[in-house]
Amino acid sequence: MDELNGRMIACQILITGLIARVANDQRDPLRFLTDFRDEIHAVVRGINIAGIGNADSVRNVARKTVDEMFSLMKPPSSDEQDFN
């Protein structure tokens, strides 16, 4: 289970980085991120898993995960540090 959780975290970091990279290439990165987040929220609202009578708990976890990913995308801090 730890390996699966580690892989999921790695995927979230990768996806967050890709979204941030695309946003940086946009004329208005904040608007792009907001629009993209709204689209992802719409997809999450439509999640339907066969065999689960009430998928609300799955939707809530997915929505929280999306919000966590987008909360990671904030401007870099003003003090630059070397992590070498």
The answer to the question of residue 6 being in a domain is: yes
The answer to the question of residue 50 being in a domain is: yes
Domain count of the fold of the chain: 1
The answer to the question of residue 80 being in a domain is: no
The answer to the question of residue 31 being in a domain is: yes
Stretch 47-69: mean pLDDT: 82
Q: Residue 76's pLDDT band (boundaries 50, 70, 90)?
A: low
Instruction: Please give the share of the chain, as a percent, with pLDDT higher than 70.
Output: 82
Per-residue DSSP letters for 13-36?
A: HHHHHHHHHHHHTSSSHHHHHHHH
Find how far residue 77's CA is from the centre of its chain.
20
Could you list the residue range(s) of the whole structural domain that residue 34 is in?
2-71
